[in-house]
Amino acid sequence: MFGRRLPSEKLSVMRIGTRNVRTLNEVDKLENLKKEMKKLNLDITEVSAADKWPENNDFCIRDYRMINTAGKGG
């Protein structure tokens, strides 16, 4: 039936959060963000930083993937 979940189907939940920060360039700011994501059990966090990173980049830190598209051309 349309719109009904079978008893055998598991519901998948993804937790998404947003944060406004002044900077991520200071010592331990990125580490604090990761701790907060873990504490709140967030899968995805959108970050708006006052000081934009100068270029687009995509990198991993342990179990976290950071994607920045705020640079030129982003």
Q: Could you tell me the residue range of the domain that residue 62 belongs to?
A: 16-68
The 10s digit of each residue's pLDDT in 35-71 is 888 899 888 888 877 676 666 777 777 787 777 776 5
Position 1 in a domain: no
Position 34 in a domain: yes
Position 56 in a domain: yes
Q: Give the 3-state secondary structure of the chain.
A: CCCCCCCCCCCCCCCEEEEEECCCCCCCHHHHHHHHHHHCCCCEEEEEECCCCCCCEEEEECCEEEEECCCCCC
pLDDT of residue 39: 92
Position 74 in a domain: no
Query: Quick one: pLDDT band at residue 27, thresholds 50, 70, 90?
Result: confident
For the entire predicted model, the pTM comes to 0.62
Instruction: Name the domain count of the chain.
Output: 1
Position 53 in a domain: yes
Position 5 in a domain: no
pLDDT of residue 9: 66
Position 49 in a domain: yes
